[in-house]
Amino acid sequence: MSDDSTAETADDNAQSDEAAGLAEGDFVTLEYTARTVEDGSLVDTTSQEIADEEGVGEDEEFEPRTIVLGEGHLFEPVEEAVIGADVGDEGSAVVDAEDAFGAYDEEEVRTVSANKIPEDDRYPGAHVDVDGEHGHVETIIGGRARVDFNHPLAGEDVEYEYEVVDTVDDREAKAESLLETMLGMDLDVWFQTDVEEEEEVVDDPEDLEESEELDDEDGPVTETVEVEKDTLYIEATPQLSMNQQWMMGKQQIAQQFIDLLDIDRIIVQETLGEGAGMMGGMGGMMGGMGGAGGGDLEEALEDADVDADELAEELDVDEA
């Protein structure tokens, strides 16, 4: 094949990739509004104007939302419609009831004791929690209540109208958008490459220099090596520590960040007060296999320019 033919093939492939549009794994910002097909009731929107018109979310801010295609951040039919699109494209997608909020199940309408419902909520239409299930009251007769435990939108087909606003390529912007999508929180984040020492098993101990000591001949031979850790730092806040989704699923959320951002680990950093000194930043750490870690005390003392021996002597004097 000639050089000209090779160049033409490369150009054709590049044009083909460009023409393919958005793909799974892309971070894309969407403007969308979802309504029920039957009567047009508002289900969800990113438009402040529509939210104001509908009188919903008075204390909320509505703006375009960034999702990761293929990660289930929106219903699958919507994501499938967006895949292959380009920035600026508009479209619509209908999500069948079964794929949206489920088919309506008559058996989920049950009679319960009215005593299980708070007295202030004993009226038709009230949203209640009974034995860990959420539902709404249909009727109350005597000491019995008829409660519908179906999702309020069960049995409803939902239509999404969307516009592809932009794509996100910056890593910090990706991390911030993931936090907003998963936790509904705006937190400070930054990336940093840390160099740390780790023990590594040596496949061929003869490769080690003679001056190095070998481990027990029955055990593995290791050496200390420096490794780089691509780390995402998240500035912890009181709101984060109280976030239910974070508390219940931080390991799963961390793993998604690690996979989607191609990093080694996440460190959640807490800074206490102004100039928090050596205690600032010794927060929890999460890696691919989970588990929490903090700073090493000796390293922390070195970073804070504190002599460990002098500190120990001072403590002995104080105790005396």
- Entry pTM: 0.67
Q: What is the pLDDT of residue 84?
A: 95
- pLDDT, residue 195, reads 85
Whether the CB-CB separation of 109 and 149 falls below 8 Å is answered with yes
- Written as six digits, the tokens of 296 are 């090493």
Task: Output the pLDDT for position 199.
Answer: 79
Cα 269 to Cα 38, 144, 203, 257, distances in angstroms = 48, 51, 37, 16
CB 68 within 8 A of CB 202: no
| Six-digit token string for 114 | 């009215």
Cα 64 off chain centre by: 17
Phi first, then psi: what are they for 29, rounded to 5°? -100, 125
Question: For residue 83, how many other CB atoms are within 10 A of its CB?
Answer: 16
Cβ count within 10 A of residue 191: 13
Contact 190, 172 (CB under 8 A): yes
**Residue 14: exposed, middle, or buried by beta-carbon count in 10 A (0-12, 13-18, 19+)?**
exposed
Give the tens place of pLDDT for each residue, 243-289. 888 888 888 888 988 999 989 989 898 877 655 443 344 344 444 43
Tokens 């998240």: give the residue: 234
pLDDT at 279: 38
Structure tokens at 68: 């990761």
Other CB atoms within a 10 A radius of the CB of residue 92 amount to 13
Q: What is the SS3 assignment for 187-199?
A: CCEEEEEEEEEEE
Beta carbons of 177 and 187 less than 8 angstroms apart: no
pLDDT at 14: 46
**169-199 tens-digit pLDDT:** 999 999 998 888 888 888 889 998 888 877 7
Residues of the chain with pLDDT under 70: 1-19, 204-219, 273-320
Q: Rounded to the nearest 10 degrees, what angle do helices 171-183 and 244-261 cross at?
A: 150
pLDDT of residue 224: 84
Domains of the chain with bracketed CATH: 22-100+156-167 (3.10.50.40), 106-148 (2.40.10), 171-208+217-303 (no CATH)
Residues 6+ apart with CB under 8 A from 117: 126, 128, 130, 137, 140, 145, 147
